[in-house]
Amino acid sequence: MVGRKLVERLTRDGMLAGEGISHVVLADVVEPTAPTAPSFEVEHAVADLADPGVAHQLLSGLPDVVFDLAAVVSGEAEADFEKGYRANLDGTRLLLDSVRAAGTGYRPRLVFTSSIAVFGPPYPEAIGDDHGTTPLTSYGTQKAIAELLLSDYTRRGFVDGVAVRLPTICVRPGEPNLAASSFFSSIIREPLNGREAILPVPDDIRHWFASPRAAVEFLVRAAEVDGEALGNRRSITMPGVSATVAEQIEALRRAGGDDAVRLIRREPDERILRIVKTWPGRFAAERAQALGFRAEASFDEIVRVYVEDELGGRVGADP
């Protein structure tokens, strides 16, 4: 979803990091969605980065910027241990080694999408930029390892890497899914579309959010940020909005009224609560702020972005 929106954004801008875009290679394990009327050449590839030789071939045009968004998501990496390590660790390492193998003259900006899943409890009141990565999932472990590789390959001069630790993206468009985090989006999206949503956790659960639009903005900013300013610390926790479920619901009320809020059905789910309780609630993302990464200022703004980008600015209509 973020990848698709990134391509839309690049198509609209025609520029990245101050330069015109001439050529884009889109690679995914399924057929990637083609952008509409791009001003640049587009190549498609259906390929698995974890297969030997694939990364080498994808880099044959020596792109100036590489976005590494591919990942086996959290739930799947937990369910299928080997698949997760293969995609999220071996795939990224093969990509880094392919950049390295291209030779000393080639040092592209590589933007890696990491996640706040690299963190684990106990947390301080606000998690600082020096806080250690003690993930509680295999997915978070794989992201934390990829961050370390990216920093070391950068320090050695093989690549110019930036890892952005994305907040939970909210409001996700589309259908509710089986991810434990799905309800954070559902309880806003479904009522705004006149449909019922299920809330499996108490109202005082606090979490860290940014909109899909902000996520794309993070990636674009990561492509252009000054590498020297990052020094050897190439992993950056992105800014976001810290909100409780109660605060989410009040933002929904302001956007969609009491009728929307009445569509939230409380159905406590111990399994989901057990997972969500281990997630971070608030970051002091000072480095990111200083480096010019910007997120929404409130959960109201996150709701507004959803209404603008997904509902054409109108609340309450069926899409």
* Out of 32, 135, 200, 239, the residue judged to bind its own copies by CB under 8 A: 135
- The interface with its own copies within residues 69-88 (CB under 8 A) comprises 81
Specify whether the CB–CB gap between 234 and 151 falls below 8 A: yes
Find the distance separating the first CA and the last CA of the chain, reported in whole Å: 18
Residue among 51, 76, 80, 152 that touches its own copies (CB under 8 A): 152
The residues facing 27 across adjacent strands are 45
Binding mask 240-279 toward its own copies (x if CB under 8 A, else -) reads ----------------------------------------
Look at residues 230, 201, 204 and name the one whose alpha carbon lies nearest to residue 293.
Answer: 230
Q: Which residue's CB is nearer to its own copies, number 127 or number 307?
A: 127
- Kindly give the interhelix angle for 138-155 and 91-101, rounded to the nearest 10 degrees: 10
188 vs 274: CA distance, rounded Å:
22
Strand partners, 227: none
Binding its own copies (rule: CB under 8 A), the pick from 5, 9, 44, 131 is 131
For residue 201, whether the previous peptide bond is cis, meaning omega lies within 30 degrees of 0, is: no
Which of these segments, 56-64, 131-139, 256-264, 300-308, binds its own copies (CB under 8 A)? 131-139
Q: x/- binding map, residues 209-238, to its own copies, per CB under 8 A?
A: -----------------------xx-----
Number of amino acids touching its own copies (CB under 8 A)? 22
| Least distance in angstroms from the C-beta of 1 to its own copies | 26
The answer to whether residues 205 and 275 touch, using CB atoms and an 8 Å cutoff, is no
Q: Which of 11, 98, 151, 168 binds its own copies (CB under 8 A)?
A: 151
CB of 27 to its own copies, least distance (A): 25
In sequence order, what E strands does 167-287 have? 168-169, 197-199, 206-210, 235-237, 241-244, 264-266
Note the maximum CA span of the chain: 61
Concatenated DSSP letters of 83-106: HHIIIIIIHHHHHHHHHHHT-TT-
Task: State which residue, 14 or 124, has the beta carbon closest to its own copies.
Answer: 124
Among 45, 148, 246, 297, binds its own copies (CB under 8 A): 148
Nearer to its own copies, 189 or 287 (CB): 287
Q: Is 155 in the site for its own copies (CB under 8 A)?
A: yes
Q: Residue written as tokens 């794989």?
A: 142
Nearer Cβ to its own copies, position 92 or 185?
92
Cβ distance to its own copies smaller for residue 134 or 289: 134
**Which helix or strand (DSSP H or E) is residue 78 part of?**
helix 74-79
**Should residue 161 be labelled a site residue for its own copies when binding is judged by CB under 8 A?**
no
User: Is residue 176 packed enough to be buried (19+ CB in 10 Å), middle (13-18) or exposed (0-12)?
Assistant: middle
Of the pair 12, 155, the CB lying nearest its own copies is at 155
Out of 120, 161, 200, 280, name the contact with its own copies by CB under 8 A. Answer: 120
Q: List residues with catalytic annotation.
A: 139
Q: Using the rule CB under 8 A, is 133 a contact of its own copies? A: yes
**Residue 120 CB coordination number (10 Å):** 18
Non-local CB neighbours of 122 within 8 Å, separated by 6+ positions: none
Q: Which stretches of the chain bind its own copies, using CB under 8 A?
A: 81, 120, 124, 130-136, 138, 141, 144-145, 148-149, 151-152, 155-156, 232-233
